[in-house]
Amino acid sequence: MFSISAEQLSVLLVKRPDAEPEPYPGRWALPGGFVDVTQDATLQDCAMRKLHVKTGVDAPYLEQLGSWGGATRDPRGWSCTHAYFALMAAPAISAKDEGSSPSEWVPVETALRRRLAFDHNAILEAAVERLRSKVEYTSLPAFLLPVPFTLPQLQRSYETVLGRALDKSAFRKRMLDADYLEEAGMLTTDQGRPAMGYRVRNRERAVVFPRGFKSGEAPG
């Protein structure tokens, strides 16, 4: 689960219980859990359920990332995990409001420097790589903003994920030419001229642009 927190691309981590029978006690991990065959009709349903429990968010952008399976990734034996990645607006309140287990939004660079539970470092790396590469040629960063948002805010969202500046004029042309945004009234900001607010027309799927940004990495 990704969001922009403190001007940085951040990921939600949960702390594993300290109790010994569980593997990796006390370690930070990506949110997850076991499929419950009594309530999860599909893998996607399971991911949605976990996500709702953790964040209260109902309809984020959700995409299957991949599956990791093998003999050594869990000390309890051969196991397989199904990773999804979700994009959502920065939560107003910190994620810790559940009494259950501690969780926090951590900038991805920080998270990757920690030794996460299981093979979650590898999974997070893959997720960040996929996100960064898709941001070069899709509208994904729009899902990291609360609606409505302005084009300058959207541009900052792109720049935050990509870690480099983009040209304003070219950026606006790309977004408006793709015709995936609809106007949602003027928004006044703290300072300066107000800007048009937008929302994405179809929150189910991202828009794909015909090419990436200049000198941008190509999709993987």
User: What residues make contact with DNA under the rule CB under 7 A?
Assistant: 150-153, 167-174, 177, 186, 188-189, 191-196, 210-211, 213-214, 216
Q: In degrees, to the nearest 5, what angle opens at C-alpha 128 toward C-alphas 43 and 5?
A: 100
Query: Distance between CA atoms of 85 and 10, rounded to whole angstroms?
Result: 12
- CA quadruple 62, 64, 65, 69: dihedral sign: positive
Between 18 and 190, name the residue whose CB sits nearer to DNA. 190
| Interacting residue ranges for a second copy, rule: CB under 8 A | 35, 37, 40-43, 46, 64, 66-72, 77-78, 80, 82, 137, 208-212, 218-220
| Residue 83 beta carbon to a second copy: minimum distance, rounded to whole angstroms | 9
| Residue 164 beta carbon to a second copy: minimum distance, rounded to whole angstroms | 16
Q: Which helix (H) or strand (E) holds 85?
A: strand 79-87
| Residue 68 beta carbon to a second copy: minimum distance, rounded to whole angstroms | 7
- CA quadruple 71, 42, 33, 144: dihedral sign: positive
Between 39 and 191, name the residue whose CB sits nearer to a second copy. 39
- CA quadruple 91, 94, 97, 102: dihedral sign: positive
- Choose the one of a second copy, DNA, none that binds residue 64, judging by a C-beta under 5 to 8 angstroms depending on kind: a second copy
- Choose the one of DNA, a second copy, none that binds residue 72, judging by a C-beta under 5 to 8 angstroms depending on kind: a second copy
Query: Distance between CA atoms of 170 and 85, rounded to whole angstroms?
Result: 28
Between 65 and 184, name the residue whose CB sits nearer to DNA. 184
| Residue 20 beta carbon to a second copy: minimum distance, rounded to whole angstroms | 25
Structure tokens at 181: 């945004």
Strands 61-70 and 103-107: unpaired
Between 42 and 215, name the residue whose CB sits nearer to DNA. 215
Query: Distance between CA atoms of 160 and 27, rounded to whole angstroms?
Result: 27
Between 3 and 150, name the residue whose CB sits nearer to DNA. 150
| Residue 6 beta carbon to DNA: minimum distance, rounded to whole angstroms | 17
Query: Distance between CA atoms of 185 and 182, rounded to whole angstroms?
Result: 10
The DSSP call for residue 90 is: P
Between 28 and 213, name the residue whose CB sits nearer to DNA. 213
- Choose the one of DNA, a second copy, none that binds residue 194, judging by a C-beta under 5 to 8 angstroms depending on kind: DNA
